[in-house]
Amino acid sequence: MPITEILARNAELYGPEICLTELNPEDDEKRRVTWKEYELIEDTNKDGSRRTMTWQEFDEKANQFANLLLSRGVKKGDKIAILLMNCLEWLPIYFGILRTGALAVPMNFRYAPDEIKYCLDLSESTGLIFGPEFIGRVETICDKIPAVKHLFYVGENCPTFADSFDKLLQYMSTKAPNVPLTDDDFAAIYFSSGTTGFPKAILHKHQSLMSSCITEQKHHGQTRDDKFLCIPPLYHTGAKMHWFGSFLAGSPAVLLRGVKPQWIMRAVSEERCTIVWLLVPWAQDILDAIERGEIKLEDYHLDQWRLMHIGAQPVPPSLIKRWKSYFPKHDYDTNYGLSESIGPGCVHLGIENTHKVGAIGVAGYGWSVKIVDEKHQTVPRGQVGELAVKGPGVMTCYYRDPKATEECLQDGWLFTGDMAQEDEDGFIYLVDRKKDVIITGGENIYPVQIEDFLRQHQDIKDVAVIGLPDQRLGEITCAIIELKPGRKTTETELHEFCTGMPRYKRPRKIIFATIPRNPTGKIEKPKLRQIYCGKSLVQAQIEN
């Protein structure tokens, strides 16, 4: 059944119960006053630092937004983009879009204006809903996106080029619209990218969303007694699809806007969270803060915390060993997935297999996996090949990109581009990435964008960007730079030049060297990784 029916069920069964809590731990008055105290959202602390929503309010706000969209002529099959930081409005907006039969199109809040425009154009979105953090970026492109007929703004002080979400919503009915939906209807477009710079649009049906609910709950056994702490951005399949297990169980969740170790521990303690999904750097920061004495575990109520799980990047076994020394009663799991497989869960370690930390695990619930050669024939156990997955969450296609779809989707199998091998017990280990995308702190960095920017420098002849192993972030970006003959520049000068890029894209390390290219003119990045890394990132982590 469509995932929207789960929301209706939860509202009917658990209507007055709190389902979502938003925490804003940073005492930043400028940011907090941009969030209005909405009629159906309770600001518990009366200062914007803690807001809550019940299942009934969630359901009603989703219906109100659906009815607003329908009143503007939005119809089944249209696409509505979401550009918001994590907030209580995010999920009702997402479900409101789904209830119209339109497709939700979540976008990365780090996108620059040209990336926002690109994704709107590629997805053929006719509407965009955005928050105060994005006014400048949207204003930059609003006259360049004529297909986007509906611009809605969430927050106070609505800009003149958009309509106020909260003012319009108060006039809308809280009754569910009569739009029939099936599992086979299209539901969402998520964005991903390989090494070509700009993202691909990944098309999913309602069946995919529902399958992620079931897979996640089967893996982690969420019940009504659980409470999920959600820290990663909701535009990402990793965060939302882990929450889907709690959603299916009818249990509450907490949205934490911040990643400082003390904030995470305080949220777990005061909100009585039982399940926390972390990235490697966040887990490491917590451990470091404990060992520096900045966090004293006896100051927190943690007995209810039962599961810590990690995804989005390979996990060093040494990190989990440290974690278990401080939290010996915690279950632990790691998950592997792609936006093309509706996020995490197609492969997972399993809480009963902590002794296999370093592996990404085995096939997830309802999924099949295989490791194949270049002809897509299964390789013998122990040999390296490309990981392929098959299951109910595999994407329909790359939207408007049949060539890319054909390359990675065949007979229901999704060929991931990740190289892996299976051990004697059937556990899968990632060996290296076929694609050049760099994953730093769980976020994808696209080398070609950095390379193109650096090539604008007058002293640079050639440049290649690769990932170097990093204990905290998994990888950091490294730019290998070949200067023009007779030219001189320093690492400091290039770091200054890179301030023209968003901070998260700037190279952490710069190396001056010759760039090797093959006879066809392609940069030999495997050779560079061999020179500067010595071995693949995951192999080094497994040995730890």
1: number of Cβ within 10 Å: 12
What value, to the nearest 5°, has the Cα angle with vertex 272 and ends 95 and 38? 40
Which residue segments constitute the domains of the chain, with CATH numbers given? 4-258 (3.40.50.12780), 306-433 (2.30.38.10), 438-543 (3.30.300.30)
Q: What is the pTM of this model?
A: 0.83
Question: Do strands 409-410 and 385-390 pair parallel, antiparallel, or not at all (unpaired)?
Answer: unpaired
Question: Do strands 200-205 and 186-192 pair parallel, antiparallel, or not at all (unpaired)?
Answer: antiparallel
The letter for the amino acid at 397 is C
pLDDT surpasses 50 at 28: no
Residue 452's pLDDT is what? 77
Tens digits of residue pLDDT in 458-476: 899 889 999 998 888 888 9
Q: Residue 46, exposed/middle/buried by CB under 10 A (0-12, 13-18, 19+)? A: exposed
Tens digits of residue pLDDT in 518-539: 544 567 787 888 888 874 433 4
Mean of pLDDT values over 237-243? 88
Alpha helices in 272-377 (DSSP H): 280-291, 317-326
pLDDT surpasses 80 at 250: yes
Confidence of residue 45 (pLDDT cuts 50, 70, 90): low
Residue 366's pLDDT is what? 96
Q: Which backbone phi and psi does 133 adopt, to 5 degrees? A: -70, -15
SS3 label, residue 57: helix
Give the DSSP H/E element, type plus range, for residue 136.
Answer: helix 135-141
Q: What is the 3-state secondary structure (H, E, C) of 12-29?
A: HHHCCCEEEEEECCCCCH
Radius of gyration of the chain (CA): 23
| Dist CA 278 CA 475 (whole Å) | 16
Residue 503's pLDDT is what? 87
Tens digits of residue pLDDT in 316-360: 788 899 999 999 999 999 999 999 999 889 999 999 998 998 899
Q: Which of 354, 362, 241 minimizes the C-alpha distance to 308?
A: 354
The letter for the amino acid at 243 is W
Tens digits of residue pLDDT in 69-112: 999 999 999 999 999 999 999 999 999 999 999 999 999 998 88
Give the DSSP H/E element, type plus range, for residue 212.
Answer: helix 206-220
